[in-house]
Amino acid sequence: MRVRNKPWAKELIEKHPEYVVTDPEAFKGRWQERFEQKQPLHIEVGSGKGRFIVGMAKAHPENNYIAIELERNVLVSILEKQIDAQLPNLQILHVHGDSLMNYFTEGEVALIYLNFSDPWPKARHAKRRLTHKTFLEIYEAILAPGGEIHFKTDNRGLFEYSLVSFSEYGMRLKQVWLDLHISDYEGNIMTEYEEKFSSKGQPIYRLEAMFSN
């Protein structure tokens, strides 16, 4: 994805340490202290511009949410939404998904969302896919027993790869949708990519999976 440089992004992020966590290591095992209420913690890895996670935090005040995004020029759009919305149950983390074990302790997370993750279609880049085994190991470590991964994509190749990856890892698929928008699934909150691809008529794939611990 080509990202437009926003020279003002750094300054805006630095002005809002109440929303964008500046010292995430310090909160390992203590994330509940960042929120008004102690309640289940849901994280999204690769939040992009944040439409989904902001929508979820608004729709579900009974959960706490953390948006994780590595690209500053994209993350700043989540921050702009949060400055408007001022949601007490949403925090933003500017970190890489492969370092989550530095920031979350074992079992601290109830649910992980992966939405329209970069497909990395070349086989030699498979390790970068957020559903590769090395990421599943990280998710397993930080998820509480019974914790789930909810994954949506328009990319059929990534979806097929992920089904195999989850299955080889011994995970249990709870539910699979091959065309989410014509299903009876309720409460879907669209991401920016979902809006873009579904408006072109592409089916949206979705699954819910859990580790068998």
What residue numbers does the annotated binding site for S-adenosyl-L-methionine cover? 44, 69, 118
- Does residue 115 touch ligand SAM according to CB under 6 A? yes
Q: Does 118 bind ligand SAM (CB under 6 A)?
A: yes
- Please say which residue, 91 or 191, places its beta carbon nearer to ligand SAM: 191
Answer whether 211's CB lies under 8 Å from 140's CB. Answer: yes
Kindly state the tokens that stand for 29.
């095992």
Q: Would you count residue 97 as binding ligand SAM (CB under 6 A)?
A: yes
Check binding of 192 to ligand SAM (CB under 6 A).
yes
- Interface with ligand SAM: number of residues (CB under 6 A): 21
Q: State yes or no: residue 70 binds ligand SAM (CB under 6 A).
A: yes
Q: 């089904």: which residue's tokens?
A: 163
Report, in Å, the least distance between residue 29 CB and ligand SAM. Answer: 21
Which residue in 1, 8, 123, 187 binds ligand SAM (CB under 6 A)? 1
Contact 166, 175 (CB under 8 A): no
Residue of this chain nearest to ligand SAM (CB atom):
48
- Write the DSSP symbol of residue 129: S
Per-residue mark of binding to ligand SAM, 151-190 (x: CB under 6 A) = ----------------------------------------
Pick out the residues of the known binding site.
Answer: 44, 69, 118, 122, 154, 191-194
Query: Is 118 known to be catalytic?
Result: yes
* 89 is a site residue for ligand SAM (CB under 6 A): no
Closest of 155, 142, 151, 147 to residue 196, by C-alpha: 155
> In the sheet where 41-45 sits, what is the strand order?
90-93, 64-68, 41-45, 109-115, 143-153, 205-210, 172-177
Output the CA torsion sign for 175, 120, 199, 190: positive
Measured N-to-C along each axis, helices 51-59 and 72-85 cross at an angle, to the nearest 10 degrees, of: 30
Beta bridge partners of 45: 68, 114
What does the DSSP assignment read for 74-90?
Answer: HHHHHHHHHHHH--TTE
Query: Of these, 191, 205, 207, 211, which contacts ligand SAM (CB under 6 A)?
Result: 191
Examine residue 204 and tell whether it contacts ligand SAM (CB under 6 A): no
- Which residues contact ligand SAM by CB under 6 A? 1, 45-48, 68-71, 74, 96-98, 115-118, 191-194
Active site residues: 118
